[in-house]
Amino acid sequence: MTVTLSDELRQALDQCAGQPLHVEDPRTRKTYLLVEWDLARSWIEPHMADGNWSQDQNARRCDLIRKKYAHGLTASETAELDQLQEQVGQFRERLEPLAAETVRALAAELSRITQPQSGSGTPS
């Protein structure tokens, strides 16, 4: 799903000068991070480069899951789905370091923006 930026968000992104933008949902108080797609892709693509999982495989997996619950699967389709489920599980496990890296980067950024700036404020 793609959402179009409001003028307010566009202006805030312009002021961030390429840095991630922290956005808070006033209803849930959850904070989100808006990151330019090229930067996000640079975090993700190295973990997908080995070619062990593709959009075509995922589409087939989704088709088999839908068919399983709508009409049932043949024995060969069940075996194929089991294999695809195993492959996607292995793929997700390889991405886990990415999640850990991202959490560390976000924690560092949160720490940076929530700590008082040294050298600012009133002189001692």
Domain ranges for the chain, please list them.
Answer: 52-105
CATH for 52-105 (1.10.287, 3.40.30, 1.10.3470, 1.10.10): 1.10.287
Give the model's confidence band at 90: pLDDT under 50 very low, under 70 low, under 90 confident, else very high. confident
The 10s digit of each residue's pLDDT in 53-71 is 788 899 999 999 999 999 9
The reply to whether the predicted model has a pTM over 0.85 is: no
Residue 97 is predicted with a pLDDT of 67
The 10s digit of each residue's pLDDT in 3-61 is 888 999 999 989 988 788 888 999 999 988 888 887 777 766 665 555 567 888 999 99
Strand partners, 52: none
Residue with tokens 């959402």: 3
Six token digits for residue 108: 């560092």
Q: Where are the beta strands (DSSP E) in 13-81?
A: 21-24, 31-34
Give the model's confidence band at 121: pLDDT under 50 very low, under 70 low, under 90 confident, else very high. low
Residue 17 is predicted with a pLDDT of 82
Poorest-pLDDT segment among 5-19, 65-79, 82-96: 82-96
- Using DSSP's 3-state secondary structure scheme, residue 16 falls into helix
CB atoms within 10 A of CB 89: 9
